[in-house]
Structure 1
């Protein structure tokens, strides 16, 4: 069953229940009020009759007293203590015979239903004892106006109920269409996306400021992110293809050279093999960077442990100094400074920063270890070419290079800072860059002191404990 049909049926059923409840209250209230009014009137009539009976000169005149008070389908009679009728006046013998006399000691009201000619009639009876208690005056009359009013009221209520049900059906349909319109638009948009494979957004025609508009806005925001990710994916494929194209072209060219000239010319063959090896090595490093980037974006669990940063950094710098023959100075005030992190990934991020500093500077490199209430900070500072202000926002993009010519010479792929940023994101930390063109660059890794991992909840204090 469609949601629109469910909404329509549920709203109609609910309104019908409300109408029936209201109609019942109206009907029974009307009956009670009308009968009470008739009851008061009939009791007043009985009191008047008793008053006149007291003033009568002889018992023979009592029947004459009853006659003026008779109405259509009515009787008035006196009943002794043995429930015998003494005097009676009536214009409806069937009614008088149907209602048995009853003696009472105090005022009493009774409403009774009788059948006449296969029809039900409402009869109101009042019984009032006289002051001496010897007899009871019994007055009864047919509630003809009540029957007619009841039938009219039932007809009106039935008409109103049917009319209300029709309005409820129409209103439920309008309401269900109003509710389902953005959902239907979303379904149609999803079907279009499924068929075409192209992300599309829902067109919001009216600002309703309700949950449905919020859902549509959320859907559009999700589609916007998908479009951004798809664009990044296309850009990544394009950039990766471009990056791989150059070394593959070089390899192919030298392979063609070897095929044409063979190995007779040792010098040419040696140069060709050396170039092929160099470009193959470059492709290998680029592939490793691709894998590193994919690994840092996959959100894998971190192997968190306490790292004593001074000895950790000294070991890294010892290896780099040996490989690059560059001066790397470590500065710190607290020799016990530590951080909770994944050792291999933090090492990878630091090496990326040092590697960039080596590529884009020729002077010494300074590394600072410090901390504040929130973060443990590792800062790598070089005194090289620097980065212009308008390029700082782009340096974390994949394949972006500040000095493209120098990057080609040094074999850079433009993926290092993107990987370092992802590593810090995995640690719920930050990476920040300050740079002045021609002066140098300062890059900081900010590791939170309170580390909330997927499996661990650590800080410096409880690790040391």
Structure 2
């Protein structure tokens, strides 16, 4: 069942149920009020007849009762043995009314042959001193007519209310489902035609549908960006892997043709194959590392001072270069310890790769942030390259990077780790004077 049909069916059924409850309540209330009024009126008439009987003699009793006889009713005086002393009516059907003697006042409405009869029974003292029952009954013709008119009026009113409700539910369902139909159409176009279509939003009504459409457009924008990044990533990775594969293949073919006869060619080929295989291994490891970083961000309390001290100590043990570390008080951040170690290692090794002098490493607090800086005094980075050095596979000096085993992924990995931790990674550099890489992370609170 379509959503439009569900909305129309639900609203129609709900309205029918509501009208039934309201109309039934109106009908019952009107009937109760009207019938109570009829009974009170008949009781007053009965009291008047009882008073008149007390003041009259037996000779005039029958004439008196006839004077008070309702046009659509009956008057009876009943003995305690349920026999009649007097019984007057203008309609013989009323004679079938059940005879009930009572010594207390009773007023009631019951059905007699499908007709509503109001009956009031009242004990009175008869002329011989015995207690008899004065019963006055009346056919509620006007009440039945009024109730019949009310019934048809309520049905007609319900129909007139139900038709606009059904039309309104149809219009409302169309209004609500129009954006959904546009969503479906746009999503189908995106899937089948491989387009990046967005919804046209009307700003005059910023309701939930507008917010959903806005979120959908934002999602499409993100998907498009990620798709293009993925395409570029695959393209760049393929390009990077193509070169070492081609080199390995060429040297393997050279070995096959001339390797056994020429030892120098054999040695050169093996060294080249080993070198390119090693570079391919590093590239694959870093690609896997990128995927791991994006999928796993374990948040924990991390002492950033300890990370810096340990990494500087390890790197100083294998490099003769001077690493000058300065830190203020203990700096605590929230994040993944292994990933934070990785970003510190990348920034320091990057500085060592592109400079020949000492490296200054600083760690300090600033308001709600922890600042980590690595400053080198090497070749520097030009203005046009500074905006791209964090892109995957981008290298400022491709020849030098290849010689030093670079893949162009280090700074891209560092940038992604920083952003995954809610921080930023930026660079300030001047050609031939050096560079300052600044990592800013939020403090642990």
Q: Tell me, yes or no, whether TM beats 0.5.
A: yes
Q: Is contact 2:301–2:332 with CA below 8 Å preserved after alignment?
A: no
- Return the offset for 1:167: 4.4
**Pair 316,346 (structure 1): closer, same or farther in 2 beyond 3 Å:** farther
Measured against aligned partners, the alpha-carbon deviations of 1:193-227 in whole angstroms (never above 9, x if no partner) come to 33223343333346543333333322222211110
Aligned to 1:216: 213
- Return the offset for 1:232: 1.2
Provide the aligned C-alpha RMSD in A: 4.3
1:22 and 2:15 are equivalent in the alignment: no
Matches within 5 A, 1:202-351: 202-205=199-202, 207-240=204-237, 243=240, 285-299=282-296, 309-321=308-320, 326-332=321-327, 345-351=339-345
Distance 2:322 2:241 in 1: 33
Measured against aligned partners, the alpha-carbon deviations of 1:24-48 in whole angstroms (never above 9, x if no partner) come to 1111111111112211221222222
Q: Is contact 1:434–1:442 with CA below 8 Å preserved after alignment?
A: yes
1:146 and 2:143 are equivalent in the alignment: yes
Aligned to 1:91: 90
Unaligned 5+ residue runs, structure 2?
Answer: none
Q: Is contact 2:74–2:90 with CA below 8 Å preserved after alignment?
A: yes
- Return the offset for 1:95: 0.5
Aligned to 2:121: 127
**Pair 407,71 (structure 1): closer, same or farther in 2 beyond 3 Å:** same
Aligned to 1:6: 6
- Return the offset for 1:230: 0.8
Q: Is contact 1:433–1:441 with CA below 8 Å preserved after alignment?
A: no
Q: Is contact 2:79–2:133 with CA below 8 Å preserved after alignment?
A: yes
**Pair 391,380 (structure 1): closer, same or farther in 2 beyond 3 Å:** same
TM, length-normalised to structure 1: 0.76
Aligned to 1:383: 377
Matches within 5 A, 1:359-438: 359-370=353-364, 378-387=372-381, 392=386, 394-401=388-395, 412-425=406-419, 428=421, 430-438=423-431
Aligned to 1:460: none
Task: Give the match's secondary structure for 1:100.
Answer: coil
Q: Is contact 2:316–2:322 with CA below 8 Å preserved after alignment?
A: no
Distance 1:90 1:340 in 2: 100
Distance 2:170 2:242 in 1: 61
Measured against aligned partners, the alpha-carbon deviations of 1:249-305 in whole angstroms (never above 9, x if no partner) come to 888999999999999999999999998987776666545543443343343779999
- Return the offset for 1:348: 3.8
Distance 1:437 1:46 in 2: 116
Distance 2:76 2:333 in 1: 108
Distance 1:203 1:404 in 2: 45
1:108 and 2:106 are equivalent in the alignment: yes
Task: Give the match's secondary structure for 1:123.
Answer: strand
**Pair 188,102 (structure 1): closer, same or farther in 2 beyond 3 Å:** same
Aligned to 1:74: 73
Measured against aligned partners, the alpha-carbon deviations of 1:90-117 in whole angstroms (never above 9, x if no partner) come to 2123203424253433x321212011xx
Q: Is contact 1:380–1:443 with CA below 8 Å preserved after alignment?
A: yes
Distance 1:212 1:141 in 2: 64
Aligned to 2:436: 442
Q: Is contact 1:309–1:337 with CA below 8 Å preserved after alignment?
A: no
Q: Is contact 1:85–1:101 with CA below 8 Å preserved after alignment?
A: no
Report how many residues are paired.
Answer: 439
- Return the offset for 1:65: 1.9
**Pair 373,209 (structure 1): closer, same or farther in 2 beyond 3 Å:** closer
Unaligned 5+ residue runs, structure 1?
Answer: 452-465
Distance 2:100 2:295 in 1: 97
Aligned to 1:459: none
**Pair 99,283 (structure 1): closer, same or farther in 2 beyond 3 Å:** closer
Q: Is contact 1:77–1:89 with CA below 8 Å preserved after alignment?
A: yes
Task: Give the match's secondary structure for 1:122.
Answer: strand
**Pair 377,316 (structure 1): closer, same or farther in 2 beyond 3 Å:** farther
**Pair 221,91 (structure 1): closer, same or farther in 2 beyond 3 Å:** same
Q: Is contact 2:311–2:345 with CA below 8 Å preserved after alignment?
A: no
**Pair 55,318 (structure 1): closer, same or farther in 2 beyond 3 Å:** same
